[in-house]
Amino acid sequence: MSAQYTEIINSSRPGFAETPYSVGSGVSQIEGGYQFYATSNFVNNEKLKSHIFNQTLRFGSFSEYLEFAVLLDQNIDRFRIEQDPNITQSLGGSIGFGIKYLILNPKIKNRDHEIRSWKKRTGFHPSMLVPAIALNVSTSIGLSPTFKENINLTPDDILDLFNDNPNYVINTNERGNIKLNILLQNHIKYKWTIVTNFGYEKRFFTEDINSDVYNLIFSATYNYDKQWSFFGESRNQFNSFINNSEIRTGAAYLINNNLQLDASINGSLGSQYNNAGISIGASWRIDEHVDKLKKPKKEKTASDTISGPNFFVRAGQGTKEFIVVAGISIGTFFSNAATDVSIFTQNLFLKKENEIPKRERKGKSTEKAKEEKLPEPKKPKKGRHLRGEIKDQKSGKNAERERKAALKASEAERKAKEKAEKERLKAEEATRKQNEKEAAAALKAQEKEEKEQAKLANSEAEKAEQERIEAEKKALEAKQAEEKRIAEEKAAQERIAAEKKALEEKKAEEKRIAEEKAEQERIEAEKKAIEAKQAEEKRIAEEKAAQERIAAEKKALEAKQAEEKRIAEVKAAQERIAAEKKALEEKKAEEKRIAEEKAAQERIAAEKKALEEKKAEEKRIAEEKAAQERITAEKKALEEKKAEEKRIAEEKAEQERIAAEKKALEEKKAEEKRIAEEKAAQERIAAEKKALEEKKAEEKRIAEEKAEQERIAAEKKALEAKKAEEKRIAEEKAEQERIAAEKKALEAKKAEEKRIAEEKAEQERIAAEKKALEEKKAEEKRIAEEKAEQERIATEKKALEAKKAEEKRIAEEKAEQERIAAEKKALEAKKAEEKRIAEEKAEQERIAAEKKALEEKKAEEKRIAEEKAEQERIAAEKKALEEKKAEEKRIAEEQKALEKENKEREKAEKKRLKEEEKQKKAAEKAARKEQKRKEREAALKELERERAEELQQRIDDISTF
């Protein structure tokens, strides 16, 4: 039966994880589905909605462990950035090919014999922890053309997208990848399956930082019953820049053995984006699998050397006979095999002309015997048993008896020959073992004697050599300790310098913040002073206006009193003149009241205009303040950006310097190690040559000691490399934690500054609202007072009009002519008064126009100064950017030159090492060749000696016989 094929469909949907098992030979399987993804990148404020259709064709061929796959997918994407109102669409797809091979298929221990315990028979067993292991390699390539959303596509337009059409701007967005995955699967009990995937993905046609991605997928499946199964899995994608996790769960329903439906949901939480989605799909299998039965291997039996074909049929007629024949055949096989191995090992070290001929196979003689026909059974003789013999002849009993007799005779003959052969081989084996034993004893005695002599001769040299090696080892350790101490001191100095620099930068930053705070306080103080000055000027103006109004009222009162006195004096004499004069005075008073009302209205308009001008001034001041705050924030952000770039550049330079120093130190250590190895190799070659000339045993001891020393040195080097790697990892981790802490502190600082600014803006808004409310109340109070004043004036006017009507009726007849003269005189006075009022109004308008022109001039000068400052800031930023680019270009050129120099140095070093390795290999090859030649000569001499002894023994045996 096959190892991969299952009666029920084996699908990799709906999760990311892939099973290590193939579908089986002769099986084709289609897996496809639809996925909807909604992705949000909170780093770049990007949103993506994707509709994905994927199909996979899996088929098995050549082997039950091998599977091929064709991968297809199509996607429709809608991409949008929050700051950009446009929406970008893309239609694309990819095609790929994959191959999977099962490396290990574990077997769970069969516990059916545990008939006394159901728990032991069906529970967990440690053999379930051994996973099935497979290797999967795949590659794909695709396109994703993009276009704006407002393009209304038709079928003809879609075909025209890749032509030279000026109405469309298409980006093809090529993409491709190669994936290498290790697939693991464990079966835990009956219902649980655990699948783990370790993968590496290399992406092409991209300049993104995510071109090298590692994947880790863990999936657990629970089989609820024969139709339903549920799963949950997690997928992690990570490299040096990203670490994203995605979780998926769902269910699958088995309709029949060849058809499965599935559905799932997924979500993720990563360092760059969040996404969520749903998926539905199906898997369908075309089952044309045929079980291939393994052919049993044809074993060599006794029939091959005894009696030709159909031996098992004949031997099976008697169980005892079959056992005897099988036992003899097995003994013959092992005896012949031992002889063949002995001849083969002896021929390894002999020349072609001296090789021992191979043993003749007895099976060849039996092949001729197979061709010889057994003797025909004799015809029955005539006599009383003729009928019975004819019957036996027809039934074949005679032939069977004769065949059995012939078989027994041949078997007896073969047994005799085999017995003689066994005795001969046994005697030869005993002789050979005795000779080998004597030769080994003589060789051992000789080696012992030579070893003692060599030990006496080389004890002093060996002792001196060991002392020199120990001294060199101590010197090397002292040198390494000194270098380590120097490196630690240098690192400590650099760390102190970095901390000092960071402290200075912190002090500079605090000083700058204090200066900015003082500048803001100064601006606030100036603003308060301006507001106080404006309030003082307003108060003075109001007091002046009140004084002028009081003076005018007082003057009018004095004039009225004087007029009343004069009227009282001349009333008796000239009542008519008094009446006319009184009427004239009343008219003047009316005109004066009208002028006062007009002045009050003008005053109200001026106050209203001043209030509007004040509000405009406050608005302008607020805008100036906001502009200053914006400029300050931009300046601060630019300084922070510059400081961050400077810090990153310094960190990069520091890392490059450390890497360069580390690399130089490693090269220095490698050079010292190479010199030591060369020296040791030269000394070893000399020692080996001397030991080879002196004694073979000494050479073996020196080689073992050297191997032990090299192993100790390698272990020491590995330990040092491990410690250095752990130290580097710890430093990198500490550096990352420090950067994360600084970033967190910076974000907290920015959040605090933002909160303070918001609180300040809220306080200013509340103060402005409070001030506006107070001004509104004051305005309402003033309007009420003016309304009361107007009502009082109206009442007085009404009483005055009544009085005037009565007086007019009395004096109307008397003073008609005088009234005309008085009216003429009053008209002239009125014209003079109106002229004076017009001149005062023109003067006030001129002053207001000059003030407004002066304010516009100041605003224009301020705007020009701001534009000039903005241009200077832009120029400074441009200059800084150019300097930064030039610096980056210089650093890149220096790095390129350094890399080129390192490559040339590495190339020369590799060439030198290659030549030394070549020389070393040539020397070792010559030594091995010489050793092999000596061993071959020794073996040949030994073999000649054994042959001579064996020949002499045979001659002695013949003579004895």
Q: Which residues pair with 137 in a beta bridge?
A: 99, 180
What whole-number distance in Å separates Cα of residue 406 and Cα of residue 413? 11
Do residues 450 and 698 touch, judged by C-beta distance below 8 A? Answer: no
What whole-number distance in Å separates Cα of residue 683 and Cα of residue 690? 10
Query: Is the pLDDT assigned to residue 2 strictly greater than 50?
Result: no
Of the pLDDT bands very low, low, confident and very high (cuts 50, 70, 90), residue 297 is very low
What whole-number distance in Å separates Cα of residue 75 and Cα of residue 449? 85
Query: Is the pLDDT assigned to residue 380 strictly greater than 70?
Result: no
What whole-number distance in Å separates Cα of residue 778 and Cα of residue 14? 76
What whole-number distance in Å separates Cα of residue 520 and Cα of residue 756? 14
Letter string b/e over residues 205-233, b meaning 16 or more CB atoms within 10 A of that residue's CB: eeeeebeebebebbbbbebeeeeebebeb
Question: Is the pLDDT higher at 163 or at 862?
Answer: 862
565-579 pLDDT, tens digit each: 777 777 777 777 777
458-479 pLDDT, tens digit each: 676 677 777 778 887 888 888 8
Give residue 277's pLDDT: 92
Query: Is the pLDDT assigned to residue 339 strictly greater than 70?
Result: no
What whole-number distance in Å separates Cα of residue 955 and Cα of residue 961? 10
- Segment 584-608 shows an average pLDDT of 82
Do residues 208 and 237 touch, judged by C-beta distance below 8 A? Answer: no
Residue 12: CB partners within 8 Å, gap ≥ 6?
A: 18, 19, 31, 56
Give residue 116's pLDDT: 58
Do residues 38 and 275 touch, judged by C-beta distance below 8 A? Answer: yes
Query: Is the pLDDT assigned to residue 176 strictly greater than 50?
Result: yes
Query: Is the pLDDT assigned to residue 73 strictly greater than 70?
Result: yes
DSSP 69-123: EEEEEEEEEEEEETT---EEEEEEEEEEEEEEEEEE---PPP-TT-TT-HHHHHS
Query: Is the pLDDT assigned to residue 271 strictly greater than 90?
Result: no
Of the pLDDT bands very low, low, confident and very high (cuts 50, 70, 90), residue 319 is very low
Give residue 31's pLDDT: 93
Question: Is the pLDDT higher at 117 or at 755?
Answer: 755
Do residues 454 and 695 touch, judged by C-beta distance below 8 A? Answer: yes
Cα distance from N-terminal residue to C-terminal residue, the chain = 63
Query: Is the pLDDT assigned to residue 159 strictly greater than 70?
Result: no
Do residues 247 and 230 touch, judged by C-beta distance below 8 A? Answer: no
Query: What DSSP designation does 715 have?
Result: H
Q: Which helix (H) or strand (E) holds 193?
A: strand 192-204
Cβ atoms within 10 Å of 289's Cβ, excluding its own = 19
Of the pLDDT bands very low, low, confident and very high (cuts 50, 70, 90), residue 331 is low
Threshold 0.85, pTM exceeds: no
- Segment 197-203 shows an average pLDDT of 91
- How many C-alpha atoms does 908 have within 13 Å on its Cβ side? 7
69-73, 210-214, 376-380, 780-784: which range is least confident on average?
376-380
Do residues 314 and 27 touch, judged by C-beta distance below 8 A? Answer: no
- Segment 244-267 shows an average pLDDT of 92
Do residues 231 and 249 touch, judged by C-beta distance below 8 A? Answer: yes
Query: Is the pLDDT assigned to residue 397 strictly greater than 70?
Result: no
